[in-house]
Structure 1
Amino acid sequence: MPKTRNQMQETCLKIQILSQEGYSCHQIARKCRCSPSAVGYTLQKYKRTNSLEDKPRSGRPRVSSARNDHILIHMCRENLPMTSQELQQQWSNQIGVQCSTRTVCGRLLDHGLRSYKAAKKPLINERQRLARRRWAQAHKNWTNWTARNWKKIWWSDESSFQLYPPPDNVRVHKRPGKALSPACTVPTVKHGRGSIMVWGCMSAAGHIPLCVSGQLYTY
Structure 2
Amino acid sequence: MGRNKNLTMEIRGAVIALYNQHKNQRYIAEKLNISKTAVQQTIKKFRNSNNIMDKSKSGRPRITTQALDQQIILLSKRNRKRTAPEIASEIEKTTLKKISVTTVKRWLMEANLGGLIAIRKPFLRRNSKAKRLA
TM-score normalised according to structure 1 size: 0.43
Deviation at 1:114, TM superposition (A): 4.0
Structure 1's 107 and 86: CA in aligned 2 closer, same or farther, altered over 3 A? Answer: same
Displacement of 1:13: 4.0
Is the aligned partner of 1:95 residue 2:95?
A: yes
CA apart distance, 1:74? 1.5
Pair 102,17 (structure 1): closer, same or farther in 2 beyond 3 Å: farther
Q: Can you give the 5+ residue segments of structure 1 that lack an aligned partner in the other structure?
A: 117-170, 173-184, 210-219
TM-score by length of 2: 0.62
* CA positional deviation for 1:22: 1.8
The aligned counterpart of 2:129 is 199
| 2:76 counterpart residue number | 76
* Bigger helix share: 2
Q: Over the residues paired in the alignment, what is the CA RMSD in angstroms? A: 3.8
CA contact (8 A) 1:84 1:101 kept: yes
Q: Deviations over 1:38-97 (max 9, x none)?
A: 24333236x734xx3324445433212232222211111122233434433332333221
Secondary structure of 1:198's counterpart equals helix
Aligned counterpart in structure 2 of residue 44 of structure 1, from 44, 47, 67: 47
Which structure is higher in RCO with an 8 Å CA cutoff and minimum separation 6? 1
| 1:190 counterpart = 2:127 | no
One-letter amino acid of the structure 1 residue matched with residue 129 of structure 2:
W
Question: Could you say if the C-alpha distance between residues 39 and 55 of structure 1 is closer, same or farther in structure 2, counting changes exceeding 3 Å?
Answer: closer
* Aligned counterparts of 2:85 and 2:12: Cα–Cα separation in 1: 45
Structure 2 unpaired stretches of 5+:
none
Identity of paired residues, percent? 15
Greater share of residues in strand: 1
In the comparison of the two structures, how many residue pairs are matched?
A: 129
The change in CA–CA distance for 1:35 and 1:62 in structure 2 (over 3 A counts) is: closer
Matches within 5 A, 1:173-184: none
> Structure 1 CA distance, aligned partners of 2:102 and 2:14?
40
Task: Report the 3-state secondary structure (helix = DSSP H, G, I; strand = E; otherwise coil) of the residue aligned with 1:115.
Answer: coil
Q: 1:34 is matched with which residue?
A: 37
1:103 partner amino acid: T
